[in-house]
Chains A and B, each alone.
Chain A
Amino acid sequence: MEKKDIIQSFKDSLFTGLIALALFGPIVGLRTASKGEGLFITPQWGVVFLLVGLCILGRFLINLNSSRKTEITFFSKFTSKFSAITEDKAKHFAITAILFAVVFPFLPFTDRYFMDVAIMILTYIMLGWGLNIVVGLAGLLDLGYVAFYAVGAYSYALIATTFGWSFWICLPLAGLFAAFFGILLGFPVLRLRGDYLAIVTLGFGEIIRIILINWYEVTNGPDGITGIPRPSFFGLPFKRSPDEGETSFHLFFNLEYSTMHRIIFLYYLILVLALITNYFTLKIRKLPVGRAWEALREDEIACKSLGVNPTNTKLTAFAIGAMFGGFAGSFFATRQAFISPESFTFIESAIIVAIVVLGGMGSQTGVVLASIFLIGITEMFRDLEQYRMIAFGGAMVLIMVFKPKGILANRKPTILMHGDKK
């Protein structure tokens, strides 16, 4: 390493320090505290200098490291080895993961908190898999996916509270409603591509949320819908003391009453729903319509020249993607027993898109890894309160730096002429 390089990287790190100072100075340095009447500023310059110093040092070390080519590759080597393993043994990996997911509720360290996080991760996995059809396969960047999630949740909630039908009737209905909205969105955006499509879908997501807030007579506006019926175990409710003429789950199986029963049931419910989504996607990818989706992502004009109807192909992608979003929405409604428009903000769409893109477009396993990574890290840093979103952003940056195409970016052909060579 030459002296010139060291001076260069030193200058560079000083510049980084300047930016850090500009950022941390006002945010961290000037702390407001309320004393008696009014706010007073307490400067914390020590902390600021510590942070700026760390930034300078970190930048300098990165610069030093990048001039030594061999060592910077350590992390990317590690991740590419990891993705090579998961690609080669994709089947083993999937089976192990599913087995782990099945026994997870009965592991000794699993408590209520772990179950809640696991249910949340699985919900995001299912949403990711649903959106993967639209974004990963058909290549239609949909930034308003949360709209279908909301439609599913509200249809379930409204049908269940109005007619009192059971979960298993409301679930397909909610999926159908969401699919209908998928087609409704699909029609006006058929001609749009890329950024323009993203903007319109984003708007659609907001429109749905604003309708939910303002259509007070039906959706109860910002107050949301309460008292959504919980799902029952094939007709056996999870209640401590069942109504007259009813048998509840713990009485039927002669168990001690525990709230965990319902949590475990919900966990398996979302696991099954997610696996159905996955199975369906893997299957349909190998069918003509799945290939047409991917062809459409690759080149729409070539598709037309081969007689593939782009309208129908896009609409099916929107409808099927929306349907799974609707299923996930009804699960969300039945789990929370309360929904309000606040649960369906743009950030949810952004998280789901992030999961799909960071997982590797079109990769089913990638969605799982990205969900665990992004949601898991955000949960791990829950103690940091509002700063935990920094962890979320950090996780995204890490993936983008080391795996710019997503955690698992390899695509396998849907059909092989010569069979699997490996």
Chain B
Amino acid sequence: MSNLLSVENLTMKFGGLTAIDDLSFDAKNNQITSIIGPNGAGKTTVFNCLTGFYKPTNGQMFLHKEDSKISLRKYTDFKIAYVAKVARTFQNIRLFPAMSVLENLLVAQHNELMVASGYSLFGLLNLKSYRDKEQLAVDKAKYWLDIIGLTHRADDNAGDLPYGDQRKLEIVRAMCIEPRLLCLDEPAAGLNPKESAELNKLLKFIKTEKQTGILLIEHDMSVVMGISDHVVVLNYGKKIFEGTADQTKNSKEVIEAYLGVDE
């Protein structure tokens, strides 16, 4: 299995606080890599560095393509999603609540549609080439909505959906940009056991069918242990353990980090 993402000596300092300290790990293609750790371990900061919201103090992050690799440090802001094709979701859901479900998925395909609409010129003229492209985008949205079972609510406002459906919608919205790496920040937070199981199914589907690497931050161990191929454990910004799910469960360091040391 080839590497998809390699993080090398990543360090992020906020003033005197070192949120991430010399972190290195790899994520492989078609695998789910989980990052776990107690609260404040620096998990979300890793994501923010990867997805261009923060500029790391030190270190490198590479995304491997077939025979080349691109440095994620070079891209900031929207270019991470646009050029490097790294998509993400957020810990607190960030949908466009007053827009319909379908519109949410179309905004994710903004850049292709923008070119197809000739930067609005063809669109204003209502050319057939643009209408066809728009139909394709709608078909793609419908494909994903069928998978999460929300097709019947496509025209409702995204903010009106139940919480669990909003989570799933946010994930498929990120998938609409056809990412190479999908970063999920606590996708199971606030879900009941049934919804968590559905989420597991969706993530497995994305991993196997879409050939997309997934990077996952999660507290819900039923999700982490159920689907992770590889687990990275952080504590106070440092990597304390790395291995398979089973190895992690039995690791002394991990148990200590979560539960403390025996007196």
Contacts and interface: CB of A to CB of B under 8 A. Distances in A.
A283 B94 contact: no
Contacts of A417: 102, 138, 141-142, 151, 154-155
Contact of A418 (B80, B113, B154, B173): B154
B67 to A, nearest CB: 24
Residue from the set A289, A299, A307 with the largest chain B CB neighbour count within 10 Å: A307
B120 A416 contact: no
A287 interface: yes
A418 B82 CA distance: 30
A298 B174 contact: no
Contact of B155 (A292, A411, A418): A418
Given A299-B95, A417-B154, A291 B90 contact: no
Contacts of A283: 123-124
A287 B138 contact: no
B97 A298 contact: yes
Contacts of A287: 117, 120, 123-124
A288 interface: yes
A415 B102 CA distance: 8
A40 to B, nearest CB: 60
B82 A295 contact: no
Contact of B78 (A294, A303, A416): A303
B71 to A, nearest CB: 18
Interface string A327-352: 00000000000000000000000000
A411 B98 CA distance: 8
Contact of B110 (A291, A414, A416): A291
A226 to B, nearest CB: 38
B174 A305 contact: yes
Contacts of B96: 294-295, 298-299, 302
Contact of A309 (B82, B97, B103, B151): B82
Nearest to B114: A288
B94 A305 contact: yes
B78 A307 contact: yes
Contacts of A302: 90, 94-96
A288 B138 CA distance: 12
Interface string B140-155: 0110000000011011
B100 A413 contact: yes
A310 interface: yes
A294 B99 contact: yes
Interface in B114-159: 114, 117, 119-120, 123-124, 134, 138, 141-142, 151-152, 154-155
A81 interface: no
B94 A304 contact: no
B99 A288 contact: no
Contact of B103 (A291, A301, A308): A291
B102 A416 contact: yes
Given A304-B77, A415-B138, A284 B124 contact: yes
B206 interface: no
A306 interface: yes
Contacts of A416: 100, 102, 154-155
Contacts of B97: 298
A197 B159 CA distance: 26
Contact of A306 (B107, B120, B123, B134): B107
A305 B90 contact: yes
B251 interface: no
Interface in A274-328: 280, 283-284, 287-289, 291-292, 294-295, 298-299, 301-310
B151 A292 contact: no
B212 interface: no
Contacts of B95: 298-299, 302
B181 interface: no
B223 interface: no
A305 B88 contact: yes
A292 B107 contact: yes
Given A284-B120, A288-B114, A310 B100 contact: no
B51 interface: yes
A414 B123 CA distance: 14
Residue from the set B53, B107, B119 with the largest chain A CB neighbour count within 10 Å: B107
A302 to B, nearest CB: 4
Nearest to B51: A305
A323 B88 CA distance: 36
Contacts of A291: 99, 103, 106-107, 110
A309 to B, nearest CB: 5
B63 interface: no
A289 B123 CA distance: 10
A306 B110 contact: yes
Nearest to A361: B98
B111 interface: yes
A331 B155 CA distance: 40
Contacts of B107: 291-292, 295, 303, 306, 308
Contacts of B102: 413, 415-417
Interface in B50-74: 51, 53
A414 B157 CA distance: 12
Lowest 9 CB-CB distances: which A-B pairs, in order? Answer: A307-B81, A307-B82, A298-B96, A413-B100, A417-B154, A302-B94, A288-B113, A287-B123, A295-B107
25 contacts: A284-B123, A284-B124, A288-B120, A291-B106, A292-B114, A294-B99, A294-B103, A295-B96, A295-B103, A299-B95, A301-B53, A302-B90, A302-B96, A306-B78, A306-B108, A307-B78, A307-B177, A413-B99, A413-B100, A413-B103, A413-B155, A415-B100, A415-B102, A416-B100, A418-B152
Given A302-B96, A413-B102, A418-B152, 19 more contacts: A284-B123, A288-B106, A288-B110, A292-B114, A295-B96, A298-B96, A301-B94, A302-B95, A304-B53, A305-B51, A306-B173, A307-B81, A307-B177, A308-B78, A308-B107, A411-B98, A416-B102, A417-B102, A417-B154
